[in-house]
């Protein structure tokens, strides 16, 4: 026969086991919630960090672009095609060589053609006159933008056919191969280039 005392002991033991199970379950739920919260916070922090780095990459010009613009004597603000400036800067100081188109020596159309091929993957005619005739649409000087070409007659003749070409950069500056100084950057506002200007062209 089951005694009342035994029944009471069973009831008490069962209550104690249930109570312990509830505490354990509750503890697990708290830990899970805490872990989830920490993970979410960590993900949020990583996302914020990535966004900041991306913004900085957009806002701050690369060191190579800054160095190139400094070498070319133009402002890095408003640069549209950084490759044009970086490639152009690598030609500064190359000596003039009639018929040349390498960094061992180049003439104006040779340098222009090589930069265009590298930056825009476009092939240009070999002479200044042919580039204007075959590869360009003439534009007004006031509408010049980076990458456009500028043409001059530098032999003192009154002919309207150009014998000299350069690539417009910005801030009224263009890069070209001078017969006396090699590859340099000059200003469109210099008297010599104002007087000998023939046309401006945008490559088709």
State how far the Cα of 87 lies from the Cα of 109, in Å rounded to an integer.
16
Kindly report the number of other CB atoms within 10 A of residue 183's CB atom: 22
State how far the Cα of 9 lies from the Cα of 12, in Å rounded to an integer.
5
Whole-angstrom CA distances from 185 to 102, 171, 174, 179 are 18, 11, 5, 13
Residues marked active site are found at 108, 164, 176
Among 202, 190, 196, residue whose Cα is nearest residue 161? 196
**Is 79 within 8 Å of 175 (Cβ atoms)?**
no
Question: How many residues belong to the chain?
Answer: 204
User: At 138, phi and psi to the nearest 5?
Assistant: -65, 140
């Amino acid at each position: 026969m089951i005694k009342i005392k035994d029944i009471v002991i069973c009831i008490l033991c069962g209550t104690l086991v249930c109570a312990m199970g509830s505490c354990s379950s509750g503890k697990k739920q708290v830990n899970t919630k805490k872990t989830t919260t920490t993970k979410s916070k960590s993900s949020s922090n990583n996302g914020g960090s990535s966004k900041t780095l991306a913004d900085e990459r957009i806002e701050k010009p690369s060191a190579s672009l800054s160095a190139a613009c400094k070498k070319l004597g133009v402002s890095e603000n408003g640069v549209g095609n950084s490759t044009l400036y970086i490639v152009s800067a690598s030609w500064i100081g190359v000596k003039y060589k009639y018929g040349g188109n390498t960094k061992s020596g180049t003439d104006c159309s040779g340098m222009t053609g090589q930069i265009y091929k590298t930056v825009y993957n476009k092939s240009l005619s070999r002479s200044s006159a042919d580039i204007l005739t075959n590869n360009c649409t003439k534009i007004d000087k006031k509408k010049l933008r980076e990458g456009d070409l500028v043409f001059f007659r530098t032999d003192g003749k009154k002919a309207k056919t150009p014998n000299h070409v350069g690539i417009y950069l910005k801030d009224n500056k263009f890069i070209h191969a001078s017969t006396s100084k090699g590859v340099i950057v000059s200003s469109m506002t210099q008297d010599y280039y104002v007087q000998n200007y023939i046309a401006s062209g945008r490559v088709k």
